[in-house]
Amino acid sequence: MTDSESLEARLTALEATVERQAACIDDLEADLEAERQAREAAETRVDEFEATVERQDALLGALQKRMKTSREMIGELQSRELEKGAHLRWEHVKPTLDDDLLDLHEDTVERISKDDGEYIRLPAEADPLDRGEGVVLAHGDLLPIQQLAQLDEDTLQSVTDARPDRLATQVWQARQESSTDLWNTGCNGVREYLDAGELATWIRIQEGNVSRDYATKLARRTIDALLDLSNHRLYDELRSRRADGLQYKERRVVLPADAAIPGETRTGSESADSEGSTPETAGVAGD
């Protein structure tokens, strides 16, 4: 091949390369233009989204402000109604309580159960509208012995360190059980009574691993716990007894007929005066 032919061949090859590169450049420019247009469209959409978010933020802020004002108004209305003695439904007041929006002259409110649902009230306030019946006393209305008697066995074990307190609670629970004859029905101003000797025997049966002497000591300490945990609604006295030809003094626990036991209607002379009325609600535990 001559030099002229060689140069022509090289020139042809270079021209072909230039054409391919030009075509590639055209393709790249087309892609770049498409990307530019897509970017512009995306930027336009971003601007629209940002404008929408700003409008929604402004609307949300206005709604939150209005909601805060409304909740404060509701809290004030609920506070005033509670102070008037109203019983308000628990699910309606709970959000107000959670946000600490109640403004009351009392430090606490209490939750109670009625036959138509859960309510909240100021302590011991009767419902002026008389809505719902079958009020279950709030925990704070109950005597300490009644509060303990509501617990199951495992929980009772965990909250009472003293054995006499646990036994006193079980003795109180036995008042409600028809299957036990631990308590005796009284008369002449006595609703029920319990003798220390019978209590000691009951303790030996319940505990199963105590001697007669220790059961007697436990009975004395259990009676002390009963008096204390009932806020002395119960009282004790010494009674003369005769056994095996011997006469001795025995301690007796007495529940008077007129004792104010929360949730229990009084008997005796006071029952005639209060017949047909709602049982009295006692003060909070510790009174």
Q: Are residues 195 and 100 in the same domain?
A: no
Same domain for 125 and 170, yes or no, is no
- 145 and 248 assigned to the same domain: yes
Using DSSP's 3-state secondary structure scheme, residue 160 falls into coil
Of 139, 167, 184, which marks where a domain is finished?
A: 139
Strands 117-121 vs 184-185: parallel, antiparallel or unpaired: unpaired
4 or 223: which leads in pLDDT? 223
> Is the model's pTM score more than 0.75?
no
Residue 51 within a domain: no
| 3-state DSSP assignment of residue 161 | coil
Residues 122 and 144 placed together within one structural domain of the fold: no
pLDDT in tens, 160-218: 888 999 999 999 988 877 667 889 998 889 999 999 999 999 999 888 888 989 999 99
In a domain, 119, yes or no: yes
Asked if residue 279 is part of any domain, the answer here is no
In a domain, 156, yes or no: yes
My answer on whether 128 and 238 are in the same domain is no
The residue to which tokens 């510790």 are assigned: 286
Most confident stretch, 101-105, 131-135, 184-188: 184-188
139-148, 221-230, 273-282: the lowest-pLDDT one: 273-282
Domain count, the chain: 2
Pairing of strands 110-114, 184-185: unpaired
Given a contact cutoff of 8 angstroms between Cβ atoms, the answer to whether 197 and 238 are in contact is no
The residue-averaged pLDDT of 125-152 equals 67
Are residues 103 and 205 both part of a single domain?
A: no
Q: Which residues contact 200 (CB under 8 A, 6 or more apart)?
A: 212, 215, 216, 218, 219
223 in the same domain as 183 = yes
Q: Which domain holds residue 122?
A: 77-139
Q: Mean pLDDT lowest for which of 85-89, 132-136, 182-186, 204-208?
A: 132-136
- Cα–Cα distance for residue pair 39/83, rounded to 1 Å: 64
Same domain (yes/no): 202, 100: no
Sign of CA dihedral 153, 159, 162, 167: negative
